[in-house]
Amino acid sequence: MEYRILGATGLKVSRLGFGCIKFKGCTQDDVTAALHRALDLGINVFDTARNYGDSEEKIGRAIASRRDDYVISTKSAGRSAEALLADLETSLGNLRMDWVDILFLHTVSSPDCYAQVTAHGGALDGALEARKQGKTRHVAVSVHRDLATMRHVIDHPAFEAL
């Protein structure tokens, strides 16, 4: 497996990552087998989100015991600091973890949304507080199809990955 450094995080991640959105339709046994097989093949980065059904719970049950073997990211669509922090607490419980490697602000896909999450009291403030508390190591943003917003994210010093 080839590995790369992810953005400005310093994290060494496998070139191939594992998106977990489809776990909401899978049995726990299938999820456990898939995640352990991926780890055994050298895949070390897994991505989930609060709105991916029961994906976080299944991941937590499957691989929480191998926490040192992988990088996990989750996402929050909360737009305020308060909403993001509440989402993160739920995610941590679901994942059976004290912290995640990367916390994404989810689907920040317009200049207006970007302005909302980066405003005082916005989701970015919550993510930075979570990092200060040790509940996430890195802060990132997911953007879908909006180049202007991507440029803003790239230029913002708080965001470590896109």
pLDDT score, position 30:
98
Region of 115 on the Ramachandran plot (φ > 0 left; ψ -120 to 50 alpha; else beta)? alpha
pLDDT score, position 25:
87
Identify the CA nearest to 137 among candidates 106, 102, 88. Answer: 102
pLDDT score, position 74:
98
Q: How far is CA 31 from the centre of its chain?
A: 18
Q: What is the mean pLDDT of each run of 10 residues along the chain (162 residues)?
A: 97 98 95 98 97 96 94 98 98 97 97 97 99 99 92 94 94
CB atoms < 10 A from the CB of 94, how many?
19
| Side-chain half-sphere exposure of 112, counting CA atoms within 13 A | 0
Query: What CATH architecture applies to the domain 3-155?
Result: Alpha-Beta Barrel (3.20)
Where do the domains of the chain lie?
A: 3-155
Residues marked active site are found at 52
pLDDT score, position 140:
98
Q: Which residues touch 55 (CB under 8 Å, ≥6 apart)?
A: 20, 21, 23, 24, 48, 49
Q: How far apart are CA 151 and CA 146, in angstroms?
A: 9
pLDDT score, position 125:
99
Q: How far apart are CA 144 and CA 73, in angstroms?
A: 17
